[in-house]
Structure 1
Amino acid sequence: MMRNKYIDSIGIRGFLGQNNIEVRFDQSINFIIGLNGTGKTTLINLIRSALNCDTRALRGADFEEISIYFIPVSGKTRPNLRIIKRKTLPAVHSVIEYQYKNTSKSDPVVIKSTAENIRYVLTLGLYLTSVTTRMSRKRML
């Protein structure tokens, strides 16, 4: 039986070009509250794009690095995902680098998104979507 990995926290460096933010999540229900235009929807879209390996959306998003930490499933293993945007000119050709570590001490699996290896990034996206997300419609009601 596959066990879900819940998101514990997310850190974003260079969010909207200038802010560094960290968000900690509860395992049940979470609310993001803020004034209009403060980036609530942008944050949710960035998380979705990161977990779905939507490199096209990530290239267009304004960030430098995303770190996603998952709650340990068993023992003290704490899986994490790091996404780094390596800017190039023109920006549509920026490289999106995924680094996934199953434990904090393990070596990362590194995949760089380019036009040539997009199928590997999509495969990683399917894997991450299947084991790391818990955004069911039942919970959002």
Structure 2
Amino acid sequence: MKISKSLNLGLLALAGLAFACGGGEKAAETTAPEASTPAAAPAQEISLEEKYKDDPIYIKGIEKIKASDCMTCHMVERKIIGPSYAEVAAKYENTEENVTMLAGKVIAGGAGVWGEVMMAPHPSISEEDAKDMVRSILLLKK
């Protein structure tokens, strides 16, 4: 009977020691990866439309763009037939001189600046509306 008690006591002590030693290491392993996970997450990039959605100049111009046929050939961040608005904004500085020049191109149409595909003229768009459209486009810097 004494051997049995001693054996049980020894096994119990061995089990306690094994449990105590093993448990501490697992806690450290579990904590470390969790701490580094949020830092490794990439920042989510927002679209230009989202970035400028509350800007009154952008809102005024984009409403006029959407009311015309501009979106048939142009998109904000992706080239389809003509350049994207982001490409136009990257090429031209946002100055009143460029706004006037580009508004004239919107009204008169033309080809050669972005390739040989001609931009259709838009004589029914007023100069002021064309300038509002161009001002909203030139905001779209990345």
Higher share in strand: 1
- For normalisation by structure 2, the TM-score amounts to 0.26
- For normalisation by structure 1, the TM-score amounts to 0.26
Answer with 1 or 2: which has the greater Rg.
2
Higher share in helix: 2
